[in-house]
Amino acid sequence: MNSLLLGGLAVGIIFGFALQRGRFCMNSAFRDIITLEDFTLLKSVGAAILVTMLGFTIMSQTGAITLNPKPLFWGANMVGGFIFGIGMVLAGGCASGITYRVGEGMVGSLVAVIGLATAGTLTAMGFLKPIKDFLQSSTKIVAGEGINMTLANWLGLSHATVAYSIIVLAVILWWIFGRKNEDEVEQSDKSWAERIFKQGWNWWATGIVIGIVEMIAYLSSAAAGRNYPLGITAGWITIVKVGLPGVEASMNWVAWLVLGIIVGAAIASLIANEFKIRVPKGGVLLQIFIGSLLMGFGAVTSAGCNVTHILSGIPMLSLGSLLGGLFIVLGAWVTAWWMFVRPMQ
Amino acid sequence: MTEEVVVTKTVDVRGEICPYPDMKTMVALKKMKKGEVLEVLMDYPLSIERIPRSLKKKKHNLLSVVQVEGPDHRLLIEAFGLK
């Protein structure tokens, strides 16, 4: 096996460990705001995006990486993102959330991964492909020949100017408005090892670690010939293709990454004594499966799941990722309101 | 705890997916009278860390969280009583 592809497995193991320790799930992050009025995971996501944005900008300025923002096809980004958002609430986890929870022993998440991979493959190369192709080609807007739309080139500014402005602005806004709502940090007398391996991580620690994983991922992935940082759905689709008879495909960096996530999360949950085979009831399994099919279709149509768009794409200022990410959040909110808030009123 | 509290109601959300453990707990508490105690059996790590924050917001009183085995936890919550 190509040793560069092993980088995907190694990065995946670290990523999976961080996801499990940080309980990092974007479905929860966005949904909790309206269902439980809880902002903790949202702050983790925000911190991860900012750390990643800072890292990518410095790395691109020093020539360590070449930014590769996803294209803007507004129709596909909106429709795909919204459907993905609906799906992840039904499935009980985003693309990274369902992947890491397989490593915790959650059978429901395994069902979700199968659904995501199945519908993703059918949209990438099966009978759903014409819908995706139509939505993408009919609404594609580019900044120039081979140049994808970003917030920077849309505003006519450099990537670094826009990125640093966003980071500074976000920190200032946080300092003024966010800080006072912060719960007091409990003084812990526990050892560092216990805090890393046994307890769930603080939101900011999770955000910083995931941001650093993104940077390592970009270098490792680019070295293996895939010029993009973290992603999930493409990895699962690759694994399905490898297993399909008559389809030429081989394991690539992102396919090893998703397998690594499961291994990393399993290691983390075993150390923390949180591993357990858990099986939801039949009706819930059906709900999860339907949700994950929507996720697979949505992710491929929008050219990205929550990780590709929100975690990796927004730091590159891709307009397609910003729009796709926004519609993932909207889809999740509408569904969470319908399923959880409305029945409680 | 020295004295055993009287459990009014039990909710078993083991094996449930996100966010059912939290939602079922909060719905059960909403229907209970002030001072009644809800027992929750939960095995989902994210919810076990998140539920104390949700309880605080709704002024319910978390009496205890006991690890039974592995991720299995038993929570005792005193309802604030909205009725």
Q: Looking at the predicted structure, is the pLDDT value of residue A21 above 90?
A: yes
pLDDT tens, position by position, A29-56: 999 998 888 898 999 999 999 999 999 9
A157: enclosing H helix or E strand: none
Give percent above pLDDT 70 in chain A: 97
Nearest CB among B17, B22, B70 relative to A273 is that of B70
Residue-range domains of chain B with CATH: 20-78 (3.30.110.40)
CA-wise closest residue to A257 among A230, A228, A237? A230
Q: How many CB pairs under 8 A join A and B?
A: 77
Q: Would you call B46 an interface residue with chain A, using a CB distance cutoff of 8 Å?
A: yes
CB A12 within 8 A of CB A251: no
Find chain A residues with C-beta within 8 A of B72's C-beta: 276
Q: Would you call B24 an interface residue with chain A, using a CB distance cutoff of 8 Å?
A: no
How far B20 CA sits from the closest chain A CA (Å)?
Answer: 9
* Cα three-residue angle B19-B21-B24, rounded to 5 degrees: 100
pLDDT tens, position by position, A117-130: 999 999 999 999 99
Beta carbons of B71 and A281 less than 8 Å apart: no
Q: What is the pLDDT averaged over residues A161-177?
A: 95
Q: What is the pLDDT averaged over residues A106-121?
A: 97
| DSSP, res A303 | T
How many C-beta atoms lie closer than 10 Å to residue A89's C-beta?
A: 29
Distance CA A95, CA A91 (A): 10
Computed over every residue of chain A, the mean pLDDT equals 94
Give percent above pLDDT 90 in chain A: 84
Q: β-strand B9-12 against A147-148: which pairing, if any?
A: unpaired
pTM assigned to the model = 0.94
ipTM over the 0.90 cut-off: no
Strand partners, B73: B42, B67
Distance CA A9, CA A17 (A): 12
CB A178 within 8 A of CB A42: no
Q: Looking at the predicted structure, is the pLDDT value of residue A184 above 60?
A: no
Tokens encoding A102 = 């397989």
